[in-house]
Amino acid sequence: MGNASRDVFGRVIGAVPQMVHHMQKRVSTSGKIFEEIEKLTRFLAHRGWTVVFLLAAFSIDAKERVIIDTDPGVDDSQAILFAFASDEIEVIGLTSIFGNVDTGLATRNALRLIDLVDANIPVASGSVRPLYAKKLPTPTFVHGEDGLGEIWLPESSRAALDLTAAEFIVDTVMSNPGEISLIALGPMTNIALALALEPRLATSVKRIVAMGGVLAVPGNVSPVASANILGDPHAADIVLGTNWDVTLVLADTTRQVKVSDEWLERVRKHGGISGDFIYRASQFYRKFYRSSGVLEGFYNHDPTAVAFFIDESIFSTEKRAIRVVTDGMSIGDVVAAGPAHYKQPGPWYGIPLASVTTAVEADKVMRLIESTLEGAEIRENFDAVQR
């Protein structure tokens, strides 16, 4: 059940005790029980269709449709499988980008993940380099030579679309204006290119949730920059400075959400095919984090952005005017101005406001991912029994 229908359902259910109480009171004071039953019958006769409509609304799954732009990547893979398993969203395509791996391998890994859970959705291959900046070296020491923690999943027999990622985003969004959202889990090159191809995208995308950037903590690739932003600082400056509904799920936030060994063991046992994959792919990644001094569980970057997309109530956000430094030694620094600065003449003046995450209930994120994977596993087993 979607959030909207759950709201309506909650309100109707919440009103029932009051209605019953009201009727009981009238019945007991007047004693005219038959009159009340007659009234109820008349109500149903007049409003029968309304009741049928409401019941139908409860059972419709109003899933939000989303394209995930991604560089899989161990944490990307967990994020994608989490999104596939969720009842709240429908992933209608993956677009690939360089970052954790090169674009070619990102495309092949996206196809491998689709094979893993037999999801029948398209993959469009994205840009092989940033708009203007120098491409960063690929961090094979973090995600492994295969990008998936060196578990070497078999190559997929599926093929990517003939369209580029930017073309796929434009075609899909423009044929469903106002309905499609984007989750950006890598450098934002494809999204900036899509905007350049079709400026009306800005008013046609439903919303964008992007992972990356640091404000109060050091970056993972420079003292001021996180990998997704330094990967293409010009693209990030464009996407975060466009007048649309965009939220940046900062690494300040995602670093608070950690994957423990116990959590991995549980999803391996109860998370079906996806849980087993997440356990196996995470072992190499976990070793990298341990070697860099992160001992108590590793940071769960991309899945936290998907969690934000599914349930914003676990997070706090603030509105800021965001610029990204595009050259010099602070390249890739996200500078998010508050009202004291964006109301003054300067580089932030007139920049449309974006949201940044400022707090998260980390345990709730991990529980949401775990319960979502478990739910998908239960459905898999139920379907198998039905067959």
Q: How far is the CB of 67 from Ca ion (least distance, A)?
A: 15
Q: How far is the CB of 70 from Ca ion (least distance, A)?
A: 6
Q: CA-to-CA distance for 95 and 170, rounded, in angstroms? A: 12
Residues paired with 66 in a beta bridge: 91, 181
Of residues 304, 116, 300, 212, the one with CA closest to residue 94: 116
CB of 146 or CB of 302, closer to Ca ion: 302
Q: Establish whether 22 is a catalytic residue.
A: no
Site residue total, Ca ion (CB under 5 A): 6
CB of 252 or CB of 302, closer to Ca ion: 302
Contacting range for Ca ion; rule: CB under 5 A; set: 15-23, 68-76, 114-122, 129-137: 68-76
Residues paired with 70 in a beta bridge: 96
Q: SS3 sequence, the chain?
A: CCHHHHHHHHHHHHHHHHHHHHHHHHHHHHCCHHHHHHHHHHHHHHHHHHHHHHHHHHHCCCCEEEEEEECCCHHHHHHHHHHHHCCCEEEEEEEECCCCCCHHHHHHHHHHHHHHHCCCCCEEECCCCCCCCCCCCCCHHHHCCCCCCCCCCCCCCCCCCCCEHHHHHHHHHHCCCCCEEEEECCCCHHHHHHHHHCCCHHHHCCCEEEECCCCCCCCCCCCCECHHHHCCHHHHHHHHCCCCCEEEECHHHHCCCEECHHHHHHHHHHCHHHHHHHHHHHHHHHHHHHHCCCCCCEECHHHHHHHHHHCHHHEEEEEEEEEECCCCCCCCEEEEECHHHHCCCCCCCCCCEEEEEEEECHHHHHHHHHHHHHHHHHHHHHHHHHC
Shortest-Cβ-distance residue relative to Ca ion:
185
CB of 144 or CB of 186, closer to Ca ion: 186
Q: CA-to-CA distance for 371 and 283, rounded, in angstroms? A: 21
CB of 281 or CB of 351, closer to Ca ion: 281
CB of 68 or CB of 337, closer to Ca ion: 68
Residues from 211 through 230 that contact Ca ion (CB under 5 A): none
Binding mask 314-343 for Ca ion (x = CB under 5 A): ------------------------------
Contacting range for Ca ion; rule: CB under 5 A; set: 139-147, 152-160, 171-179, 294-302: 294-302
Q: How far is the CB of 266 from Ca ion (least distance, A)?
A: 24
Q: How far is the CB of 73 from Ca ion (least distance, A)?
A: 5
Is residue 130 a contact point for Ca ion (CB under 5 A)? no
Contacting range for Ca ion; rule: CB under 5 A; set: 15-23, 52-60, 72-80, 158-166: 72-80
Residues from 164 through 193 that contact Ca ion (CB under 5 A): 185-186
Q: How far is the CB of 191 from Ca ion (least distance, A)?
A: 14
Q: How far is the CB of 106 from Ca ion (least distance, A)?
A: 9
CB of 73 or CB of 144, closer to Ca ion: 73
Residues from 222 through 281 that contact Ca ion (CB under 5 A): none
- The residue count for the chain: 387
Select the residue interacting with Ca ion from 66, 73, 86, 325 (CB under 5 A): 73
Joined together, the tokens standing for residue 291 give: 């070697």
Which residue in the list 22, 234, 301, 341 is annotated as catalytic? Answer: 301
Contacting range for Ca ion; rule: CB under 5 A; set: 22-30, 31-39, 295-303, 374-382: 295-303
CB of 76 or CB of 374, closer to Ca ion: 76
Contact 295, 357 (CB under 8 A): no
Contacting range for Ca ion; rule: CB under 5 A; set: 32-40, 69-77, 81-89, 121-129: 69-77
Q: How far is the CB of 186 from Ca ion (least distance, A)?
A: 5
Q: How far is the CB of 347 from Ca ion (least distance, A)?
A: 28
Joined together, the tokens standing for residue 184 give: 């950006």
CB of 143 or CB of 320, closer to Ca ion: 143
Select the residue interacting with Ca ion from 76, 102, 252, 333 (CB under 5 A): 76
Contacting range for Ca ion; rule: CB under 5 A; set: 63-71, 253-261, 290-298, 304-312: 63-71
Of residues 161, 247, 236, 162, the one with CA closest to residue 205: 247
Residues of the shown chain interacting with Ca ion in the complex, contacts defined by CB under 5 A: 71, 73, 76, 185-186, 302
Q: Which residues are catalytic?
A: 301
